[in-house]
Structure 1
Amino acid sequence: MKYDYLIVGAGPFGAVFAHEAMKCNKTCLVIDKRNHIGGNIYTEQVEDINVHKYGAHIFHTNDKEVWEYVNRFATFNRYTNSPIANFNGEIYNLPFNMNTFYRLWGVSDPKEAEQIIETQRLKCDDPQNLEEQALSLVGRDIYEKLIKGYTEKQWGRDCKDLPAFIIKRLPVRFTWDNNYFNDQYQGIPVGGYTPIIEKLLEGSEVRLNTDYFAQREYFDQIATKTVYTGMLDEFYNYQFGPLEYRTLRFDSEILDQPNFQGNAVVNYTDKETPFTRIIEHKHFEFGTQPKTVVTREYSKEYENGDEPYYPVNDQRNNARYLSYKGLVESEQNIIFGGRLAEYKYYDMWQIVRNSLDAARKELKEAQK
């Protein structure tokens, strides 16, 4: 059988594209090397709790069309992301707001908090590294307690050795609002993300535990076009060298208690604690189960065989990416999409938007 589209990767980009193609009566074969669909937004039930297997995923967007689109496939709850920071046992609210400043300095007047930050800010027009950038934005106290340790664990490098552009801005609010996101729409799908992907893939043929590169010659022949969502450098056999990533290790456990930390997300911002954060999954859906599931996240350097998460978009890697992008632009029958194929970190709504746009462009051209 000859398919219209081979879709490499059963994550959100591939699933949305497949759904749009199926609506136009196109045939799709979706393959994924993992043993499940959903990519990194995969959720599975453990003790009747929907566990985010690859880290916390909170859907948030200002794009009304994207919000209405995902709501066709699930009911979203009213979850609001309000993470907590734990610095050596001291608890602070995130994002940085009046609750944070009251805990830091005992101030309740927004003007007074602004003045403290202003006096602590590094006066620097051209920050040369992440530390200088952060100090110029929020000052010494916030940087030392809530940014430095967490960032160095996340990237595995001293903040002085990280490029300034990693922190383009830091949200500082002089209100008592703990809502991390400013987006109009926000929530968690009731029942987890996996059912959304299942509905998007209805009508497509799906093969799991299937590595595209193990049978590349075969797969390249069985479809008119390929939608590729995997690692860009791997697609081109690393001919310009590998692109660097950070990856995550997850350590999950079931606890025989109804509540472990009282919040879905707690970041550990001191450098001594080896993990970056603890996720307590039941709080994403306001669970009342008798047990709870918690996951500790550890950041590490990507090695072959790991799951790549965060592109290291420094000057060297971005230059290498542009070399690969030159090859992408010469392709006729391959559509590249998603964070790995574009070497860019995306929020979930951006993946949905990008896939919708790519599918509409492609399917419109296919009808000509």
Structure 2
Amino acid sequence: MQYDYLIVGSGLFGCVFAHEAKKRGKSCLIVEKRDHIGGNLYCENVEGINVHKYGAHIFHTSDKEIWDYVNSFVEFNRYTNSPLANYKGELYNLPFNMNTFYQLWKVKTPKEAKEKIKSQIDQLNIENPANLEEQALSLIGTDIYEKLIKGYTEKQWGRPATNLPAFIIKRLPVRFTFDNNYFNDKYQGIPIGGYNKLIEGLVKDIDVELDVDFFEKKEQWEARAQHVIFTGKIDQYYDYQFGRLEYRSLDFEHTTIDQENYQGNAVVNYTEREVPYTRIIEHKHFEFGTQSKTVITKEYPADWDSTKEPYYPINNDANNEIYKKYKALADKEDKIIFGGRLAEYKYYDMHQIVGSALKKVKDHFKEIS
């Protein structure tokens, strides 16, 4: 069967594009290399709990149009992300706010907290930060950096903070209010019943084929459609002719525990360098679960290779130069549309993916906003 659109990859970008194309009367086929749809949003039901198999996903946006769009497929709950940080057994609220400053220094007013931070910064006398460590110290001082940033960041990137460029931390979110809400966005939540409901709503009545390695029969797949929406790695599409783009990856250790409540919070970060994982997710708290058992996931940052899932683009100068070469090829394509985190070599939050896909649809169909 021939289709108007072949969508390679069933993540959020591909599913939004497919849904919108179908709304416009176009026939679509989605092909997916995994044995399930949804990409990294996929949830597995374990003991009645929706387990985020590829890391925690919390939807947040200030764009009402995007919020209404996703809620048209599934109702979102009122979950508010308020992570904790565990440093050598001490607990601190995130993001850095008056609760954090009280836990660190017992200061009770914004004036006291600002003076404490300023005194630490002034003692360091860093004028031109040469690396991430100096940049963070110049923004937030010694105590917060040592306890809540250094170890976590070094685990994330797999190298000392002194070997990381300063631009990674352009600013640090600091609030001088007693507010543990991690995001500033107006809208925030988790789909009631899990993200699978969102994806299933998007691809309803659209043909999907799973366990498909697109590259094994690339020309045959492309011949089945007038247009191709490609959401995989752009360097792989062009057979790595300019070199391979680099990523950071993650390993997940999922454990079912025979108790009702393990840590009392959905997200607890472990900020000391000696603990190998960066955080523990307790999934039931995303949906206020009351199940008799619980599922936790330890998240381990990892170097990426071809056997691992690429999660975070490493957007340094060298990789960005390689990407520009691939982007120049992509811009010349008439039949292929590249979109999403891997195809655009760019880290996207979920609301940004939805917005990007909707914009690509409008541009492609030459619709005026």
Compute the TM-score of the two structures, normalised by the length of structure 2. Answer: 0.97
Paired letter, 2:249? T
Q: Is the 8 A contact 1:22 1:203 kept in 2?
A: no
Equivalent residue for 1:279, pick from 277, 281, 293: 281
1:105 CA displacement:
0.6
Offset at residue 125 of structure 1 (A)? 4.6
Question: Which residue in the other structure is 2:84 paired with?
Answer: 84
Q: Aligned letter for 2:196?
A: T
Counterpart contact for 2:41–2:54, Cα < 8 Å:
yes
Contact 2:131 / 2:161 at 8 angstroms: preserved in 1?
A: yes
- Amino acid in structure 2 at the alignment position of 1:170: L
Counterpart residue identity of residue 181, structure 2: N
Deviations 1:62-111 (Å, cap 9, x if unpaired)? 11100000000111111000000000101000000011001111111110
Residue deviations 1:304-345 (CA, integer Å, cap 9, x gap):
121100011111111111111111111111111101001111
Q: Distance in 1 between matches of 2:54 and 2:11?
A: 12
Residue by residue over 1:132-173, the C-alpha shift from the partner in whole angstroms, topping out at 9 and shown as x without a partner, is 111111111111000000000011011111111211211100
Preserved contact between residue 11 and residue 39 of structure 2 (Cα < 8 Å):
yes
Letter in 2 for 1:192: G
| Secondary structure, aligned partner of 1:293 | strand
1:63 aligns to what?
Answer: 63
Aligned partner of 1:191 in structure 2 is 193
Write out per-residue CA displacement over residues 187-234 of structure 1, whole angstroms, 9 at most, x where no aligned residue: 011100011111101121100100110110101211111000001111
Which of 246, 249, 253 matches 1:244?
A: 246
In structure 2, what is the equivalent of residue 9 of structure 1?
Answer: 9
What are the residue-to-residue correspondences of 1:1-368 with 2, within 5 Å? 1-121=1-121, 122-364=124-366
The answer as to whether partners of 2:74 and 2:201 remain within 8 angstroms in 1 is: no
Q: Distance in 1 between matches of 2:155 and 2:53?
A: 20
| Fraction of identical pairs, as percent | 64
1:203/1:363 CA distance change after superposition, 3 Å: farther
1:127 Cα deviation from its structure 2 partner: 2.1
Letter paired with 1:66: I
SS at 1:352 equivalent? helix
**2:34/2:210 contact within 8 Å kept:** yes
Give the Cα–Cα distance (whole angstroms) in 1 for the partners of residues 138 and 209 of structure 2: 50
Q: 1:177 is aligned with what amino acid?
A: D
Q: SS state of the match for residue 365, structure 2?
A: helix
Amino acid at match of 2:103: R
SS in structure 2 of the partner of residue 295 of structure 1? strand
Counterpart CA distance in 1 for 2:352 and 2:143 is 33
Q: How many residues are aligned here?
A: 366
Q: How far has the Cα of 1:123 moved from its partner?
A: 4.4
Where does the alignment leave 5 or more consecutive residues of structure 1 unmatched? none
In the TM superposition, residue 124 of structure 1 has moved relative to its aligned partner by 3.9
Per-residue deviation at 1:131? 0.8
Asked whether the equivalents of residues 24 and 363 of structure 1 are also in contact (C-alpha less than 8 Å), the reply is: no
